[in-house]
Amino acid sequence: MVTLITSPSLNQSGLTHGFTTREGGVSTGAFDSLNLSRRDGEPDANIEENRKRVRDALGLKTLVFAQQVHGNTVIRLDAAPDDGVAGKGDAMITNVPGIGLAAQTADCVPLLMFDPDNRAIAAVHSGWRGTIQEIARATLKAMREAYGTEPDRVRAAIGPSISQSNYRVGPEVLEQFDALFGDTADLIGPGDAEGGGHLDNAAAVRRQLIEAGVSPTSIWMSDACTFADENLFSCRRAKGGPFGGQAGIIGLT
């Protein structure tokens, strides 16, 4: 049975959403069991069945996935693509009911957003590179241009990602966060001998939402760590071996 993590901030009439776990699919081995990401060594038939199970659990007509490239491109969907692939980008927006927007992750931050006034939604994949390129802010801007979304009316949910304590990054990453945010005391832990440190990417995404005008009381954050919780997929925990992917999914019903 498909197990979903849900956010109280998105428990709204006419809206369905969820952050998937590893439970409820047909995949085996390193992809056990609800892998939603296409990987070498994983039969397409397994992926299609897993995606069907999630789609049915959420009551959606279709799921749409983007070709994520760790950038800040936002894709607007006015209809579901026939093959379920939206193109290259790390965020999708729509106001069309029945389309489930899926942000795939395996340590990166999945962000879901809902504009209740204009009935528009977004799914965002924000790895550290996407955060540096301000993909969350770019998505809010795209929603405003497409649907008239005002950030202070948006409700947001930040799903499971790798926690700060388990996410050591090098000095080249920390320098970019320092340059973008200025004061990073709330985002970066004490440095180590090599100049690296531990990064809280989810907190960085939350801070960007607030700086863009989203109310702090309208943002929910999961406390689940993809690295520590073996019921979630983690690229870093795989240590270079094969791994699957979960997703944050949102759709209008």
pLDDT value of position 38: 96
pLDDT in tens, the chain (253 residues): 999 999 999 999 999 999 999 999 999 999 999 999 999 999 999 999 999 999 999 999 999 999 999 999 999 999 999 999 999 999 999 999 999 999 999 999 999 999 999 999 999 999 999 999 999 999 999 999 999 999 999 999 999 999 999 999 999 999 999 999 999 999 999 899 999 999 999 999 999 999 999 999 999 999 999 999 999 999 999 999 999 999 999 999 9
Strand order in the sheet with 99-105: 4-5, 15-20, 246-252, 99-105, 62-67, 85-88
What b-and-e string marks burial along 210-223, b requiring 16 or more CB atoms within 10 Å of the CB? eebebeeebbbbbe
The architecture CATH gives domain 4-163+221-252: 4-Layer Sandwich (3.60)
Sketch the domain layout of the chain as residue ranges.
Answer: 4-163+221-252
What phi and psi values does residue 153 have, to the nearest 5 degrees? -105, -5
Rg (CA), the chain: 17
How far apart are alpha carbons 111 and 49 in whole angstroms? 24
**Chain segment 113-135, per-residue pLDDT in tens:** 999 999 999 999 999 999 999 99
CA–CA dist 70, 118 (Å, integer): 28
d(CA 45, CA 61): 19
What burial class does residue 182 get, using C-beta atoms within 10 Å of its C-beta: 0-12 exposed, 13-18 middle, 19+ buried?
exposed
Query: What is the end-to-end Cα distance of the chain in Å, rounded?
Result: 22
pLDDT of residue 52: 98
Within 10 Å of residue 24's Cβ, how many Cβ atoms?
16
Please state, in angstroms and rounded to a whole number, the distance separating the CA atoms of residues 101 and 248: 8
Residues 126, 105: Cα–Cα separation, whole Å: 9
Per-residue pLDDT tens for 157-205? 999 999 999 999 999 999 999 999 999 999 999 899 999 999 999 999 9
Q: What are 17's two structure tokens?
A: 């959403």
- pTM confidence score: 0.98
Q: At what angle do helices 201-211 and 171-181 cross, to 10 degrees?
A: 20
Instruction: Decide if 190 contacts 197 (C-beta within 8 A).
Output: yes
DSSP at 97: T
Enter the tokens of residue 209. 């939402």
